Amino acid sequence: MKLGFLTACLPDRSLPEIAVWAVAQGYEALEVAAWPDLGARPFTATHLDVAGFGDREAEQTRELFESHGLTLSSLAFYDNNLHPDPDERAAVNAHVAACIDAAALLGCPTVGTFVGRHPGRSVVENLREAEKVFAPLVDRAGERGVKLIIENCVMEGWHPDGYPGNLAYSPELWEWMFSIGLYLNYDPSHLVWMGIDPVEALRPYVDKIPHAQAKDVQLFPDRRNRYGWPGKTVAREDPWDVGWWRYRVPGLGDVDWRAVVDTLYEGGFDGVLSVEHEDPVWGGTEDKIHTGLQVAHRTLRPLIVA
């Protein structure tokens, strides 16, 4: 197992700059943000431009990682593959395909994305549609030796009522994903606030997890007593402000990281555990983000066998 982080938390830094900093802090891998240019949209970045990505760009990127002794664990483009607007959906699907092609050129084992959801349709209707949407993407990935991985993030802000906007939030849905050739990018933080034990949920599926993310979550149960599980409704100006929990860097929330890492090892996981930094306390400035990544490293590094 290696320890890395998702580069999206540092959108204003170049990939070479991030690589230098990561090595200096003791990180061993990078999960590289590969969104198209979406302006100021939060938690996205373009550290690898996969549009028109060719042999020359692949060689330069491989040389960057080799020169710093880093592993490129995954290309990250987490967006709604079932977007209700047909043009937007087509653009998202096409960019996933471009990420797959770039990963193949780089020898990168995985590409991460979301299933997504059409919020005006039922879960079952969405699943049937997703089987059609993902069939060519799964085939493309398989032909190129790449695994398409889905993070189990709930994406509640994509639904007008705060319900799941990404249909990958439970083991029941993971099994559906596996049945159509998708893999899991396991992140325990989402399971905790959903009321699912992240260790017991993980245990049966480690062999379907080629990549994992490390994000923590801090719960405020007294506030949940007011809002209920879906969070704020009457006064929810920010679709992502549920009101009773928040993401943290590993070590500052409620996830039992010793149990999570031990269960990954017990199940035979030998991939990359990638810190996904979305902590509002250690965010907002680059210095704070760096500190958050250092806290995560101090938390997780002692748990990973050298």
CATH of the domain at 192: 3.20.20.150
76 DSSP assignment: E
Which residue range(s) make up the domain with 176? 2-303
The string of pLDDT tens digits covering residues 58-102 is 999 999 999 999 999 999 999 999 999 999 999 999 999 999 999
Residue 78: which of 155, 144, 146 has the closest Cα? Answer: 155
Can you give the pLDDT at residue 188?
A: 98
CA separation, residue 111 to residues 80, 101, 247, 272 (Å): 14, 10, 23, 13
pLDDT tens digits for 165-191? 999 999 999 999 999 999 999 999 999
Structure tokens belonging to residue 167: 């249909």
Three-state SS for 25?
Answer: coil
Q: Give a three-class secondary structure readout of 108-157.
A: CCEEEECCCCCCCCCHHHHHHHHHHHHHHHHHHHHHCCCEEEEECCCCHH
What does the block give as tokens for 229?
Answer: 């599980």
Q: Into how many domains does the chain fold?
A: 1
The model's pLDDT over 94-148, given as tens digits with 9 standing for 90+, comes to: 999 999 999 999 999 999 999 999 999 999 999 999 999 999 999 999 999 999 9
Calculate mean pLDDT across residues 20-27: 98
